[in-house]
Structure 1
Amino acid sequence: MKTHKTRTTTPPAASHALQTSDPHRMVVEDLTETICRFLPDGTFTYANEVYCRFFGKTREELIGLPWRPFVVAADMLLIESMLRMLTPKNPVVVIENRVHDGKGQVRWMQFVNRGFFDSNGELLEMQSVGRDITERVLAEQRLQEGEQRWKFALESSGFGVWDWDITRNTFFRSSQFKMMLGYGSDEPIGGAELGWQAMVHPDDLLETELAVNDHLTQRADDFAREFRMRCKDGSWKWVMSRGKVIRRDEQHRALRMTGTLEDISRRKAAEEREAHNLQLIVEGAPCDAVLEAIVCSVEAGHPGMRCSIMLADETGTRLHLAAAPSLPEYVRKALDGTPISADNGICGVATFTGRRVICADVLADPQLEPFHKLAEKARLRACWSEPVVSGSGDVLGAFACYRREIHAPDQMELQAITAAARLAALAIEREERRQALQVSEERYARAKRATTDGLWVWNLLTGETYLSPRWKMMLGFAGTDHLGKYQESFMSRLHPDDWPRVQAARKAHFEHRVPYQVELRLCTKNGEYRWFLTRGEADWNEQGEAVRMTGTISDISDRKQTEGALLESEQRFRAVFEQAAVGVAEMETATGRFLNVNQRICEINQRTRDEMLRMTYKDTTFPEDLPKSMQRMEELKSGKIRSYNLEKRNLLPDGTVKWVNLTVSPMWLPGEPPLRHVAVIEDITERKRVEQELQESEQRFRAIFEQAAVGVAVIDTPSGRYLSVNQRMCEINRRSREEMLQMTFMDVTYQDDLQDDLNQMEELKAGRISSFHMEKRNVAPNGELTWINQTVSPMWRLGEPPLRHIAVVKDITERKQAELNYRLELAYNQALVTHTDAFIIGLDMAGRFVHANAAFIEAMGYTKKQVIGKTPWEIGLMDAAETVRSKERFARLLRGEKNPPTDSRLRTKSGEWRSVELRSTGTFKPDGSLDRIVVTGTDMTERYRLQQEVLRVVEQEQARVGHDLHDGVGQTMTGIVSLLEALESDLQGEPRQQAQRIHELLRQSVAEVRHMSHGLSPTSVKYRGLVGALQLLAETVRTNFRTPCLCEVDPGFVIQNNDIETHLFRIAQEAVNNALRHGKPSKVKLSLLAAVKTAATLERAADKIKNCIKRLGKISHPLDSSQPHWRAADDQSQTPARSRRDLSLSL
């Protein structure tokens, strides 16, 4: 319809009426809805107070303005198109659109727009009544998002989702639903337009429809049914469908139903394979065929797996291969005869220990080295073996599984092999019982042949019958009793139920000459029936007619009882074995009483075994579920169904209920009376609880979202705008929630990191990656940078447009700053360690090198490879004495004690000795325990060499000064004293007294000079000690005087008194100097011996040293080789032979 702009100078009558003061206007002003009127061109002519308050304008400001600026631009086309639909016949349209309120916020409004037309149908004015529906729209959006999330969660777990609008009879089927049936996610399902019934297998349709109708009519709380559905390729697939009506009208009629679809074809196939295997066992198939069927069943359920069964031989020492259809012939030959031992192969170990053995990688196991070539050739990388254990606990063999790749079995694979091993044990035990029974029958036959079986002869022409005495005795008669001579004597005692079998055997023998052998029951004399085995053969005349039949009869009642007991035992074992991991019960069909139950069913019902055996299934079933359970049982008993599955509630002793999944199977064969059945029960209470809690997932998700310790945001993928953020995301970005929702992630990302973020987003949107993880910087409002760890995941599924994604953000600013500080500190420490001249060594708790810096490596001549991992003592850095001292210092550090600095001599790789000052300390772990030993060293070799040179020069200078004082001034003054003594003897009186005084003064001067020469303390003694000084003196003699000089020092000799050391050195020095100057010795030997052991002898030794000093002080002329020298090694002075030219001084 076309609209025309109308210019008026006065408001229309309707607008004028609204603006007049009357009761109607007061009502309009008091309404909670917004009311406005506007012309066809959109100009306001009226607005009530609610409208003005909502949009933050006064009435005067609104009148004359257009309404379009208040509307969100994206909704403009919708509004205009809807307004164009106003006609005199359709004067009202309802529009829901977004507007900007007075605060600038976007709000959802619902406007009821009415047009006012003149008599010609011309649009004069429009009135709009609006109400705020923002909360409703947001709630609907949240509800839609919640539905999408739970549908996504269900499909992610492998369930298909369906939704049935019952009123319109339309279906929604999820992509997983379609893919489960072989269709594409967007491909329509063939035949779906005919209804869901067309997709269900005809044999399952009736029961499925009944189950759906029961739930629709509220006869059942929910719908759950297993049935077959047609796939795209025409095949049928077993599925489990569950559903529930989620909306009903006031009359409780179902309007909408939703549910899930689960693929159970693999479980059904496994159940069929298990049933087939058990059927083989029950029917008495050959053991080899049964074992091979078990192996094939496991392999079919686990593609890529190869299996074998190995059984112990009669000796119990080796395994022979019983079944391995998928293994190559050369592998079967290699495995056959494997020894049973604790260390040979996998099956051999499993059989020997009776425990499961798992090897995820055969080629990596050194114990399986003999099998490595075989495994590599056959590509058998993984193997695990389960022992096959009999009911009595004996290990019969082993069931093995192989994989071509490295693989550790999961729980399902272990359960499968455990069940297969038990089934194999059942088959093997049955075969053993069958063989034992066969042996027993053969023995019985031999025993029977040794005795006389009953004999009978039947004349087919006359009907006369001969029964031997033994025949009669078997029935309790005497051999002479007359039982009749015709066939009736036999037929009258035959059990009525056996007559058809006897008649069929006779017919087969007469017509097809099939050997006559039949088991039958005959009535004995006391009225009881006993089982007999009768065999016979007819005689034929020339015309091929049977004329006579002769046979024997044997009593097999005992064997029948054994077979009956065996059959009953096998049936019970089968029932328990089929569902060993769930509750299993053997039940009496007529009464519903529990006859035998396993432990799991007792746990599910929270009752003891004795309590369960006194009850029926009716006692444990919740009353509301009992009719359905009884109905299905009647169908089973009547033969309408072979088994049934039902979800129901069981009543516990405390009055609470537990949901169970019940599977019932008969224990009778077709045609037999329904005596017993097996019930398998699975506890599904938890599953039911999960389904109920699924409805609360939206609230929990919102709580987790807001309380998360990391920042979480939902982002619009095309624009990058934040749609939803939690509080932590706001704190990390230092902005309010309102500020964040007005920004994009590009606004808060640091420019240097933005391109990498955008590139990753493009990869995610293109489907090339499923998510991405990165570290980047965000910019705070004040310009500061915040380091974050960001993980981005899509919220769309494969094939859907990329609309939204979720970002999880963690603040890592402190970690980044710590990493930077650590790198700077590490670089500084490495530079410091690398460029220092000092040795820096790290040792572990065993004393092994863990670090050695460049200064140590260069100075000592070793490579790092030669020292790392070894102790200093192992590589020969020290001599024996230093090694002992070094280990003592190391032990003190381990005890937590400190070590003072010490000088050590270290041997380089080339054998050179270096003097090093060592300092050591320990580093500690956070718990206070010792972690490492750090040793630093300063190479003092050059310093010590210079010190020795200085000491040697000083010693020489002091020796020269002492020599000048002693031999120069001292000797001259001694000569003057001698002359003065002679002069004194010639003088008399006063001159003689003067000469005596001069003589005394000169003698004092000589003593003073000698004291001065002795008092010059040698520096070598001060810095080196007595031992070092003597060694230096010996070196000086060898160097300066070209005289061999040997210094022999007792290493245990220690002198604590510095004066005694000095005096001893001066004695040796003066004796050596006098000998060298006056005696010309060929060699000199200095000996320092520790002969003084006690304090008394030390005191005597000290006295003797003083005497020696005094004696040397009294020598007034030089010493030569003919004069005695002193030996201060014992309490006697010894004078060597005058003829020796060697000087030996012992201290």
Structure 2
Amino acid sequence: MKTRKTSTTAVPAPPHALLTPDSYRTVVEDLTELICRFRPDGTITYVNEVYCRFFGKTHEELIGMPWQPSVVADDLSLIEGRLRMLSPKTPVVVIENRVYDGKKRVRWMEFVNRAFFDAQGHLQEMQSVGRDITERVQAEQRLQEGEQRWKFALESSGFGVWDWDLASNKIFRSSQFKMMLGFGANEWIPGSENGWHPLVHPDDLAGTEKAVNDHLTCKSDDFVHEFRMRCKDGSWKWVMGRGKVIVRDVENRALRMTGTLEDISRRKAAEEREAHNLQLIVEGAPYTAVLEAIVRSVEAGNQGMRCSIMLADKTGTRLEMVAAPSLPEYVKKALDGTPISPDIGICGVATFTGKRVICADIRSEPRLEAYHRLSEKARLSSCWSEPVVSGTGQVLGAFACYRREIHNPDQAEIQTITAAARLAALAIEGEKRRLELLVSEERYARAMRATTDGLWDWNLITGGTYLSPRWKQMLGFDDDEPLGTDQEAFMSRLHPEDWPRVKAARQEHFDKRVPYQVELRLRTKKGDFRWFLTRGEADWDEQGQPIRMTGTISDISDRKQAEQALRESEQRFRAVFEQAAVGVAEMDTVTGRFLNVNQRICEINLRTRAEMLKLTFKELTCAEDLPRSLERMEALKAGKIRNYNLEKRNILPDGTVKWVNLTVSPMWLPGEEPLRHVAVVEDITERKRVEQALQESEQRFRAVFEQAAVGVAVIDTPTGRFLSVNQRMCEINRRSSEEMLKLTFMDITCSDDLQDDLSQMEALKAGKIPSFKLEKRNVGPDGEQHWIHLTVSPMWRPGEPPLRHIAVVEDITERKQVELNYLRELAYNQALVSHTSAFIAVLDLEGRFVHANSAFSATMGYAQEQIIGKTPWELGLMDEAETARSQERFARLMRGEENPPADSRMRTKSGEWRYVEIRSTVTRKPDGTYDRIVVTGTDMTERNRLQQEVLRVVEQEQARVGHDLHDGVGQTMTGIVSLVEALESDLAGDTRQQAQRIHELLRQSVSEVRRMSHGLSPTGVKYRGLVGALRLLAETVRTNFRTPCECNVDPAIAPQANDIETHLFRIAQEAVNNALRHGKPSQVKISLQQVGPKEAELRIEDDGAGMKKPKSGKKNGIGVRVMDYRANLIGARLTIKNKVKRGVVVTCRFDIAAGKK
């Protein structure tokens, strides 16, 4: 939700709160704020004129409607959540949220929401007072967006940021800085309180200190240095530190330095792996081991990558698998023997064409159709191949990379495999040279054997040694010059460093009988040492002990010189590509021309290799940066510095510039002529862009600070003095900026509020709270007090001393005046709460009491704490029958069915029965779901007593009228019938027929009078009982109404109380009469049966036209209401339902526990 901030204020409230009185409407109409009142379900009950104008509607259009549609949908859930938190202790909440005004524009509003509660703490109504804060919010959002852009630019660069205050030796480290070393963003780094020295590797400390001091003392333009730092887990990580002094004093001493930290551990690891591979080549390791090491190093630096090296066979037509440590054996077997062809296989094509081949999706590459099934089995989806090319341009084979996912290699991956292919070519060429050397040695050995070159013989028993003339000649001696006849002659000329190897080789030959062959140095007659290769073989006696050893010696000095030259060549190669991941170039120091460049430096300068080799570095360098670059180069050539680092701008072909970090190292030794040097270039354009964005963000922040719609101040925490204030802060406090900067916040705070402010400030300084908000009064220059809402946040980080904090102030004087008006309204409402005579109860959705008013307690005798959390039936307020009826009404209410008022019998705490008219309704939450059930009741006990008395008198009067009809009118009409019969016999013709007609009408009238007298008089029930009366009623229907009537009654059901039998009979009589009168049924059924252990059911069913539903707003007919009333009098449950097709079913269930005979 986009609501910005909320606050809840605890305002003392009277124990009872009702609806807002109309007497305050005149006052609120004059206010400039939007005011509305609404019920807990959101229905608006009042709005002022300002509210109507803002939303572009009239009072009539707003009253009775919910307030939610005017709110932006995303803000609804939090608003409703905050409103649900209101309570009698905290009846006010301030919420900032978005609404749609009358022109459908989104506006930010601040609403002060107050809840009104009754005596039991139940919410009755809420009132909101709002004001438009759109301009203020927009200003704050612009400020926040500026800060977020600054933060995003900083964090997304991947660099850690540090800021060093040299005066206090305090260093700020960004979250990225900490996470780079394995710490959490807010985690404290152990030892960091002592500066940066404890975190630097001991071996790198001296160099790092020198680089820092050189910059602090202006010996270098900036600080750039690579070193290792300790991580949280104790490991060391290589980083590139860059920084610059940004503040110096008048004596040019550094006061503040800031910079970045970059993780270069991956680059260092790659360099170490490459150095290891080069070392293997230099040391002459088997080329297969070297190639496998190259493959493994590439795989180690590229997670998920599988690599292989395949070389052309002797025929030059097929490729042989040489190194693929991570590929399955079946893959290596399938690829071994791949033809070198322009259209089969990635490696075959690359070897044939001598060009790189990339396949992002193996299964879509026609040239790999033969390998589709193999790739599916091995789960390899992409591959690319780099040709392995010798120094002479011969394609030796291919270096291949595979991945499980569909993938196109990025530039870094291409650079990696290109360098690996070149290194593999170097190893293969070294192996070729080694094989050629072996052949040469074999030829030389044959020649030596043919000329008996350098023979020696050593008697291991006597120590006697024979040295051939050729042996002596190789050392510069003539044959007749004595050299000794024992081992001393040999040992005295052996180089001291070679003895351990000679001794070990001899011992291994004696112990294991492996061929004896060792390279060693001997001192010649001239005193210099030359390299020799000696071979030999021993003779053993029967016991296996060596007794004699004979061998040869060859001068291999020339070969050693060739190997030394090879090593030096390989070392130069390694120096050129030592930092292959960045731009590298070999330069002519005298002219500045590029002699050799790698691919990366071409990419950085957006030029081809051919274009680069035609240029000098002066032509690439921006004119403003060239003097500084030339000055450093002259110092390097003069031997004043051994290397240098420089940030400068290079000019691209389109005329734009690119920032680079340049590192220059000489390729000459001290004393040699400066002819060539190596330049390593890194693209830092993005870093420079981030630094520029950071500077612009800070400028935007300052502009937002000055133009904020709220008061903002930076305050000195120890003294409380204002250090910086914006214009709005001055306006709120009725003072100029100069006046504010001379004051402390204590000077302008009302004395009654000062202690609270100071207490919160102490808690903030102690780190107990992260920030605080406070409503207090400030005093203006004229002594007038005005209310403000204060938000204070620290400007120091955890662990730092509390030096400054920021205060945001909003003028809430008008809002406080509104709150005072609320308190007056509450006092007025309190006088109204105790004058209701009806009781009101609130139940939860399980039927448990949540609240009941004082009228309920007075009527039923229960205190609040005795009923809360219990259902009415758990309290024993109802008997079993009434409980069942109540639960049935409850269920209908929960199903959303119509639930008309009902009379209920309820037991008080003292045991007295009270008759109550119950009305129930369910309230809903804003989302439409049920919330609470509100039950209102009116004590009808006295009314029911009077009604029962009236009913008794009516019954008596009906009985009297029935007797009079039977004994008076009935007897008289019977006599008339007799007279008409006598007269009929004396008449003739038409007169006789008329007399017969009169006789028939009189006879029918006598029957009707008897029926009416029987209906009015309950004597049938009195003398026959309920069962007999029902049977008589059925017979009457059959006889008088000519309608079939089935009567099925249980004779065991006979309540002893005459009034219960009378009411049940009257219910049956009314139901039958209604059916006959309105339904015109073809059949009526009367049933009286037991339906449970304690219940019986009276059921009247017909198949007539059915009962029409009453029109909206009208009650049921008098007959239905009389039946329901009689049922309530005897505690019965009456149900009247239309049947599915035709007819009506009337059921009346009553308790027979005390009515069994």
TM-based fold match above 0.5:
no
Q: Normalised by the size of structure 2, how large is the TM-score?
A: 0.41
Structure with more relative contact order (C-alpha pairs < 8 Å, separation 6 or more):
2
Q: Which is greater in Rg?
A: 1
Q: Normalised by the size of structure 1, how large is the TM-score?
A: 0.41
